[in-house]
Amino acid sequence: MRKGRLNAAIISTGILAALLAFGAVPAAHGSTAQRGAAPAAAAGLRVQDRSHDNDNPDNTLYALYQILNSGTAAVPLSSVTMRYWFTNENSADPLVFACDYAQVNCANITSKFVTLSPARTKANSYVELGFTAAAGSVAPGQGTGEIQTRVHHVNWSNFNTTETYSFISDPSFVYKDTQTVTVYVNGALVWGTEPS
């Protein structure tokens, strides 16, 4: 009996020593603690956009993005969505979203159109981009790489780009931070300014 108690004490002391030396066992992927860390980590996310063309009117809204992580923790892209806000002048002509290229692979990008009611300044619609789990995470100090997208109508009706909140007209054609394309983590706004 004493021998059993002695062995238990030695084992307990050994476990305690190991915990002190090596720290607590890390949580498994997908644990509540890890999921809860995403909003805080997401504070470092920002989106950059660059012009593709500056035509007005135009039958295509081009948007080229990259999401950057200047935070200290990786952010799973499956928790991230992004909104491009625009005015759809011809609701009778259905909208089409196209991904032309993405470093994270176009197959890992989702999209949906949302009609706003009431309309906002320079926006009565937005296209929301999301990511599948296969897109992975954005590590600290890294980015998604380029994501090239287009919005057009089935019958190629024109857009008035001066009435599109997220449209960027910039002859430099280089990536710059933009506040008019908004980024969310688990539905909470973490970057950009929504139209009023």
Closest listed residue to residue 29, CA positions, set 130, 124, 133: 133
User: Can you give the pTM of this predicted structure?
Assistant: 0.78
- Alpha carbons 153 and 11: distance in angstroms, whole number: 70
Output the pLDDT for position 195.
97
Backbone angles phi, psi at 189, to 5 degrees: -65, 125
20 found inside a domain:
no
27 found inside a domain:
no
The domain of 153 spans 41-191
Sign of the alpha-carbon dihedral angle for 137, 143, 145, 146: positive
Q: Total structural domains in the chain?
A: 1
3 found inside a domain:
no
> Please, which contacts does 61-64 make with residues 24 or more away whose CB atoms are closer than 8 Å?
61/86, 61/150, 61/151, 61/152, 61/159, 61/161, 61/164, 61/167, 62/148, 62/149, 62/150, 63/149, 63/150, 63/151, 63/166, 63/181, 64/146, 64/147, 64/148, 64/149, 64/175
More confident residue, 55 or 158: 158
61 found inside a domain:
yes
Which CATH number characterizes residue 59's domain? 2.60.40.710
Q: pLDDT tens digits for 117-170?
A: 999 999 999 999 999 999 999 999 999 999 999 999 999 999 999 999 999 888
147: left (phi over 0), alpha (psi -120 to 50) or beta: beta
50: left (phi over 0), alpha (psi -120 to 50) or beta: beta
**Mean pLDDT of all residues in 25-39:** 33
Output the pLDDT for position 4.
47
196 found inside a domain:
no
User: Coil, helix or strand for 32?
Assistant: helix
What residue type is 181 in one-letter code? V
Strands 147-153 and 95-102: antiparallel
33 found inside a domain:
no
169 found inside a domain:
yes
52 found inside a domain:
yes
Q: pLDDT tens digits for 73-93?
A: 999 999 999 999 999 999 999
Sign of the alpha-carbon dihedral angle for 187, 146, 60, 57: positive
